[in-house]
Amino acid sequence: MTGIKDVAERAGLSVATVSRALSGKGHVSPTSRERARAAAAELGFVLSYHASSLASGRTHNVGLVVPSVHRWFFSAVIEGASAALLEAGYDLTLYNIGENPEHRHSVFSDFLLRKRVDAVIAVSLELSESEIQQLHAMHRPIVGIGGPLPGASTIRIDDAAIARKATNHLLGLGHSKIAHITGNEAYDQDFQLPGTRRSGFEQAMNDAGCPVRPEWIVSADFTIEGAYAAARQLLASAPERPTAVFAASDEMAIGTILAARDFGLRIPEDLSVMGIDGHDLGNVMGLTTIDQDAKGQGALAVRTLLGAITKDVALEPADTEHPTKLVVRTSTAVPKVSAS
Partner DNA sequence: CTTAGGACTGGAAGCGTTTACAATTTGCCG
Partner DNA sequence: CGGCAAATTGTAAACGCTTCCAGTCCTAAG
Residues 178 to 197: which contact a copy of itself by CB under 8 A?
none
Given DNA, a copy of itself, none, residue 44, with its beta carbon under 5 to 8 Å by kind, binds a copy of itself
Given a copy of itself, DNA, none, residue 225, with its beta carbon under 5 to 8 Å by kind, binds a copy of itself
Residue with Cβ nearer DNA (39 or 227): 39
**CB count in 10 Å sphere of residue 304:** 20
Does position 38 interact with a copy of itself (CB under 8 A)? The reply is: no
The stretch near a copy of itself (CB under 8 A) out of 15-23, 208-216, 254-262, 312-320 is 254-262
Q: Are 43 and 72 in contact (CB under 8 A)?
A: no
**Binding-site string for a copy of itself from residue 119 to residue 158, where x marks contact by CB under 8 A and - marks none:** ------------------x---------------------
- Burial state string for 170-204 with b = 16 or more CB within 10 A and e = fewer than 16: bbebebbbbbbbbbbeebbbbbebbbbbbbbbbbb
Distances (CA, A) of 145 to 149, 182, 304, 311, 334: 9, 20, 12, 22, 35
Strand pairing of 272-277 and 178-183?
Answer: unpaired
The residues with which 219 forms a beta bridge, in sequence order, are 182
DSSP codes of every residue in 220-240: E-SSHHHHHHHHHHHHHH-SS
Does position 233 interact with DNA (CB under 7 A)? The reply is: no
Distances (CA, A) of 210 to 159, 201, 217, 336: 21, 11, 14, 18
Does position 56 interact with DNA (CB under 7 A)? The reply is: yes
Judged by CB under 7 A, which of 38, 41, 42, 54 binds DNA?
A: 54
Does position 94 interact with a copy of itself (CB under 8 A)? The reply is: yes
Does position 44 interact with a copy of itself (CB under 8 A)? The reply is: yes
Eight-class DSSP state of 208: T
The stretch near a copy of itself (CB under 8 A) out of 5-13, 118-126, 281-289, 306-314 is 281-289
**Binding-site string for DNA from residue 18 to residue 47, where x marks contact by CB under 7 A and - marks none:** -xx-xx-xxxxxxxx------------x-x
Which strand (E) or helix (H) includes residue 82? Answer: helix 72-88
Question: Which positions touch DNA (CB under 7 A)?
Answer: 1, 3-5, 12-17, 19-20, 22-23, 25-32, 45, 47-48, 51-52, 54-58
